[in-house]
Structure 1
Amino acid sequence: MKKPPILWLNVSLFTITFLVAAVGTPLYLFYQGFSWGLFTAFAALAIYAGISITAGYHRLWSHRAWDGHWSVRLFFALGGALALQNSILHWASDHREHHKHVDHKDNDPYSISRGFWFAHIGWMLREYHEHRYNDYSNVKDLQKDKIVMWQHKYYLPLMLFMNVGVPLLIGLALGQVWGALLIAGFLRLVIGHHTTFFINSLAHVWGKQTFTDRNSARDNGWIALLTYGEGYHNFHHIFSGDYRNGIRWYHFDPSKWLIRAFSWVGLAKNLKKANPYQIEKARLEMKIKRVVAKKPWLAERLHEEYEVILAEMQAYYQTQKQWLTRRKQIQRQLRA
């Protein structure tokens, strides 16, 4: 079978940025020493780019899990250009195909079924889906967003300004131009790329299947630390419309915290959450499935207890919903 043509632009980009970061950064630090100014610039730009992908590209645009004020959308559009992972429109189109065909060897753009390397970066090194590269029929809703289309149209100059212009300006301000280009530019970009790529690769092979085993996605708190909360990937693949990935208060999910903070000051609204009953039902089903796999003789007894617990959970969440509805009604009456 003939292999798809190599995407030399992508191969060159990943190779050059990696080599410059891997060789240039240690040499610079060896001869020039550590700089708190450069470290701060590196951290600030890395967080800005990363959170723009997770809270913006992913949860805001790909899944429409919340709605953002135009200023927030512009902020994330520029941060997405800094991350250098293609335009919002293209990224979201690929991601929606991933969820629609997850783990399918041919239709999932970055299917783990084709191996760790393919899911991590290999899918971007050859033209595997040439027939749909410019097919944005699955993101027609995003084409109504003027900021999305503006970023898509001017992606190249925006990307160059954010990845070259901004580090250059920082370097001029600090009097360390080469250091800023290396550390806040190349090193930050390479680390940002591969931490995001881990969500497609590592988060599909390492961790727990807490809510479903119908796909390869895993929940992993360590990956969440590297990816601004995206490590709770098993939850995400079954409840993708939820603006959260980490649903417990102690789950490390700064993207969730930022979105919630935006909502407190009127910059975000319509924050969507999955039905808590459905979440706990999925969790319980997986727990029972794991026990039955080890102790099949308990299957009948566990099934009976499962039905009882489901009925109790449903009653509990229904009562909770009624109470919350009543509280909102009272609050509206008091404000009237």
Structure 2
Amino acid sequence: MTSAPLKAPINWTASITLIGLPILAAIIIPIYAYYYDFSVSAWVSLFFLLALSSMGITAGYHRLWAHRAYEASLPLKILLMIGGTFAVQNSILFWASGHRTHHRHVDHVDEDPYSIERGFWYAHMGWMIRDHSPSKPDFKNAPDLLNDKLVMFQHKYYALLVVAVHVGILGLVGWATGDLWGVVLLGGLLRLIISHQVTFFINSLCHMFGKRPYTDENSARDNFWLAIATWGEGYHNYHHIFQYDYRNGVKWWQYDPTKWLIWTCSKVGLAKNLRRIPSFNIKKAELAMKFKYAEQDLAIYGHDVNADMSQMKQRIAQEYEAFTHTLNDWAKLKEQELQAKKAAMAEKIHKMDHKLKVDFQLLEHRLSHHRECLETLMRNIKKNTNVVPD
């Protein structure tokens, strides 16, 4: 199944952190609670420090540095770097480079660093417990990060920074609340374990359980419950097809606090150039998957409605082709505009921009109509299957 050795060398640093600390917490925290109890401040610190470290990973390591889904100001970068360091999931460079490799080779048993094809345990923590990649990473897929002074500073002094942020943050919060050991145990130890496990669930459970509304070309799933636990990262099926979008939850009702944080930062000047996938592309992907599921249902239920399905597919293909022609014409005019700054050309560009917006809105409306027709068709198919013949 794989060319990797069955018994790779143990990574003792990762093993002690990921296995030893939970064992330690399971012993110390109940004993401390029995003899001393925890203050309300210590419990509150657990939540707020969990938010700090989790957002450092989701908004920082993941959406900013791994995917370049938006641009951040230096103060925001520093804050996210501190939060990510506090999460103790390796340096930005190591994390983001490995994550880019995961997206490039998702589900490949050898190339994907945490492939679900090797099973739940491997994807969750096994890939870190043993050193399955004996050669040093070269970070060839992260030239932008290699040229980022803040990223390289953190990478060079990572171990020292981990100690510094823990001593500084836990010491400051412990002093402010008057419950140093309570904060250390809950806001430090327990928070770290929770932060690790919910992040690892994205690599394991989000590739096993949930829905695939946008693509079935990989194992990634959208999982509402994991989205709650992971600060919005649980909409993983969407993320794997549209990885450069700063949002994971694109529906208004989807829980994605990381998206809300980034958006809020953009409104106060801390972030800019938020990348968004056009809604037409999203709806097109959704409809394509609905057709796939409909065809699977047809194979099961055996109803002869293929003509209706084919007709709707043909309509969508024709409309998308027409829209593509409009986009091509628009792109050509934009290029001409760069070469010749003329008033007549500027007016032509303005008209084409307006036409593009109108065509786009019309196509979105038609796409929504086709989706409703398909859903009605499939409801009727399933309803008919429930009718017991005489």
Partner of 2:264: 261
Q: Which moved more, 1:292-301 or 1:188-197?
A: 292-301
Post-superposition shift, 1:278?
1.6
In 2, Cα distance between equivalents of 1:324 and 1:167? 55
- The number of equivalent residue pairs is 324
In 2, Cα distance between equivalents of 1:51 and 1:153? 22
Post-superposition shift, 1:9?
1.3
Deviations 1:150-187 (A, max 9, x none): 11111111111223442133223333222221111110
Post-superposition shift, 1:320?
8.6
Alignment of 1:255-294 (within 5 A): 255-294=258-297
Alignment of 1:299-310 (within 5 A): 299-309=306-316
Partner of 1:156: 159
In 2, Cα distance between equivalents of 1:6 and 1:320? 61
Instruction: Note the residue ranges of structure 2 that are not aligned, 5 or more in a row.
Output: 327-353, 361-390
Amino acid at match of 2:47: A
CA-based RMSD:
2.1
Partner of 2:305: 298
Matched, 1:126 2:161: no
Q: 1:324 to 1:270 in 2, by over 3 A?
A: farther
Q: 1:280 to 1:156 in 2, by over 3 A?
A: same
In 1, Cα distance between equivalents of 2:255 and 2:293? 26
Q: Is the 8 A contact 1:20 1:186 kept in 2?
A: no
Post-superposition shift, 1:113?
0.3
User: 227, 237, 243: which one pairs with 1:240?
Assistant: 243
Q: Which moved more, 1:298-307 or 1:310-319?
A: 310-319
- Structure 1 or 2, whichever has the larger Rg, is 2
Matched, 1:21 2:25: yes
Q: 1:299 to 1:55 in 2, by over 3 A?
A: farther
Q: Which moved more, 1:208-217 or 1:36-45?
A: 36-45
In 2, Cα distance between equivalents of 1:175 and 1:249? 41
Q: Aligned with 2:173: secondary structure? A: helix
Q: 1:299 to 1:104 in 2, by over 3 A?
A: farther
In 1, Cα distance between equivalents of 2:232 and 2:61? 14
Q: 1:118 to 1:72 in 2, by over 3 A?
A: same
In 2, Cα distance between equivalents of 1:324 and 1:63? 30
TM-score normalized with structure 2 length: 0.79
User: 11, 15, 21: which one pairs with 2:15?
Assistant: 11
In 2, Cα distance between equivalents of 1:285 and 1:320? 26
Q: Aligned with 1:209: secondary structure? A: coil
Q: Aligned with 1:283: secondary structure? A: helix
Q: 1:170 to 1:218 in 2, by over 3 A?
A: same
Q: Which moved more, 1:83-92 or 1:5-14?
A: 5-14
Alignment of 1:189-208 (within 5 A): 189-208=192-211
Q: Is the 8 A contact 1:164 1:181 kept in 2?
A: no
Amino acid at match of 2:158: Y
Matched, 1:80 2:115: no
Partner of 2:139: 136
In 2, Cα distance between equivalents of 1:321 and 1:69? 33
Q: Aligned with 1:84: secondary structure? A: coil
Alignment of 1:46-65 (within 5 A): 46-65=50-69
Instruction: Note the residue ranges of structure 1 that are not aligned, 5 or more in a row.
Output: 326-336
Matched, 1:224 2:227: yes
In 1, Cα distance between equivalents of 2:234 and 2:309? 30
Amino acid at match of 1:113: E
- Equivalent pairs: percent with the same residue? 46
Q: Aligned with 1:12: secondary structure? A: helix
Amino acid at match of 1:216: S
TM-score normalized with structure 1 length: 0.91
In 2, Cα distance between equivalents of 1:306 and 1:275? 21
User: 215, 218, 223: which one pairs with 2:218?
Assistant: 215
Q: Which moved more, 1:82-91 or 1:290-299?
A: 290-299
Q: Which has the higher contact order (CA 8 A, sep 6+)?
A: 1
Q: Is the 8 A contact 1:57 1:91 kept in 2?
A: yes
Matched, 1:250 2:253: yes
In 2, Cα distance between equivalents of 1:311 and 1:69? 43
